[in-house]
């Protein structure tokens, strides 16, 4: 009797499908047959509502709700998400069962006329849907006009071409996965402007009872898992959502995990940072990474008070 393919749930956007296809191919290799996995495209509330910011309509969870419902009722066996789109906390019956090797974690500056954020003229219009990117840009360039810019990558590039913005900020990983890396004019230094926690990484989400499936082991990348554990620890401590401007970037250098965290007021006028690390031992490192993120995030939150919501 033929085995039923592993059903992979993903959003229907071009980028989501491209990301899910890389996971489908990896699962197929792990199981030794190209037809061992198939994609199931699911439209989410976040995809349907494009005329308001995520903060206005309910946050990141609107990109995952319908997909998690499909996991709950058994229509799919796993889901592929951009890790940065996953809220810090999820239902206790769900888990991130695997994190493949991360793509480029940096933000990308894209413009038709200007080479960098610094090169934009006074009062230029910068398009972004991210409160974090908005705050970080305004921290450096308070004169900029921010244009809330949602939609898929093609839609945002079309608005740039149509003259609605002088430049836009996007995730470098998404552009690379779509074969659009040539659009990038400059990459933002993740040490001076940390990206969204988990940016560039994919999350394979399953039901708790399915997390030990053998094929999942083939998709896990240890260094990426450690880095995003630290970053998402900071996110959890700072109550990070689309209403909070939070960046976190972890890297491994010379056997040491190093984490940089930044939280900002929405207007970028106030920035709170934390930086620390620990030597990797090979045992319990993932828990230690998350604990590091939680600690740095809690320290920043205590210093920032109400400034992160703009109500200070």
pLDDT tens digit sequence for 244-271: 899 999 999 999 999 999 999 999 999 9
Between the two ends of the chain, the Cα-to-Cα distance in Å is 64
Identify whether residues 158 and 236 lie together within a single domain: no
Shared domain check, 143 and 14: no
Please state, in angstroms and rounded to a whole number, the distance separating the CA atoms of residues 227 and 240: 17
Residues 176 and 234 in one domain: no
Residues 85 and 118 in one domain: no
Residue 215 falls inside a structural domain: yes
3-class SS string, 126-155: EEECCHHHHHHHHHHCCCCEEEECCCCHHH
pLDDT reported for residue 272: 97
pTM score above 0.85: yes
Three-class SS of residue 62? helix
Instruction: Clarify whether residues 142 and 288 are in a common domain.
Output: no
Structural domain ending residue among the three candidates 187, 211, 231: 187
In a domain, 195, yes or no: no
Give the C-alpha separation, 265 to 275, whole Å: 19
d(C-alpha 59, C-alpha 266), whole Å: 15
193, part of any domain: no
Q: What was the pLDDT predicted at 1?
A: 42
Cα–Cα–Cα angle for 39, 151, 155, rounded to 5 degrees:
100
Q: Quote the domain boundaries for residue 275.
A: 221-307
Residue ranges of the chain whose pLDDT lies below 50:
1, 54, 57-59, 311-312
The structure tokens listed for 26 are 């990896």
Q: Are residues 6 and 21 in the same domain?
A: yes
- Non-local CB neighbours of 46 within 8 Å, separated by 6+ positions: 54, 57, 60, 62, 63
Active site residues: 85
CATH of the domain at 257: 3.30.160.40
Q: What's the pLDDT tens digit per position in 122-143?
A: 999 999 989 999 999 999 999 9
The answer to whether position 258 is within a domain reads yes
Does residue 2 sit in the same domain as residue 97? yes
- Percentage of the chain surpassing pLDDT 70? 91
173 & 240 share domain: no
Structure tokens at 296: 């740095």
Q: 312 lies in a domain?
A: no
Same domain, 96 and 124: no
Other Cβ atoms closer than 10 A to 212? 10
Considering the domain boundaries, does residue 194 fall inside one?
no
Clarify whether residues 179 and 125 are in a common domain.
yes
Q: Which of 163, 187, 211 is the last residue of a domain?
A: 187
> How many domains are contained in the chain?
3
Residue finishing a domain among 162, 187, 212:
187
CA dihedral 98, 104, 105, 106 (to 10 degrees): -170
CA 2 from centroid of its chain's CA atoms: 37
We report the CATH number of the domain holding residue 45 as: 3.40.190.10
Do residues 195 and 231 make contact, with C-beta atoms less than 8 angstroms apart?
no
Both 233 and 298 in one domain: the answer is: yes
180 and 255 part of one domain: no
Q: Note whether residue 16 is domain-resident.
A: yes
pLDDT at residue 57, as a whole number: 46
């Amino acid at each position: 009797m033929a085995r039923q393919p592993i059903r992979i749930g993903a959003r229907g956007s071009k980028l989501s499908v491209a990301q899910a296809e890389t996971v489908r191919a990896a699962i197929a290799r792990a199981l030794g047959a190209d037809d061992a996995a198939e994609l199931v495209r699911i439209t989410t509330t976040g995809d349907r509502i494009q005329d308001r910011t995520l903060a206005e309509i309910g946050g990141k969870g609107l990109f995952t709700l319908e997909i998690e419902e499909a996991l709950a009722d058994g229509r799919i066996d796993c889901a592929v998400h951009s890790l940065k789109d996953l809220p810090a906390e999820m239902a206790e019956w769900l888990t991130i069962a695997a994190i493949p090797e991360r793509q480029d974690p940096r933000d990308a500056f894209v413009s038709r006329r200007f080479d960098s954020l610094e090169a934009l003229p006074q009062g230029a219009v910068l398009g972004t849907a991210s409160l974090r990117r908005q705050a970080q840009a305004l921290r450096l360039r308070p004169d900029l006009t921010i244009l809330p810019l949602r939609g898929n990558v093609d839609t945002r590039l079309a608005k740039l071409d149509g003259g609605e913005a002088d430049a836009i900020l996007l995730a470098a990983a998404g552009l690379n996965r779509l074969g659009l890396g040539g659009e990038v004019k400059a990459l933002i230094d993740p040490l001076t402007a940390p990206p969204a926690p988990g940016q560039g990484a994919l999350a394979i989400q399953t039901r708790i009872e399915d997390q030990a499936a053998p094929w999942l082991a083939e998709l896990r990348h240890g260094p990426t898992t450690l880095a995003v554990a630290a970053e998402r620890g900071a996110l959890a401590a700072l109550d990070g959502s689309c209403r909070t401007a939070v960046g976190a970037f972890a890297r491994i250098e010379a056997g040491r995990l190093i984490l940089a965290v930044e939280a900002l007021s929405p207007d970028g006028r106030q920035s709170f940072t934390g930086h620390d690390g620990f030597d990797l031992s090979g045992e319990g490192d993932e828990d230690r990474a998350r604990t590091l993120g939680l600690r740095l995030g809690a320290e920043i939150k205590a210093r920032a008070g109400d400034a992160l919501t703009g109500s200070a």
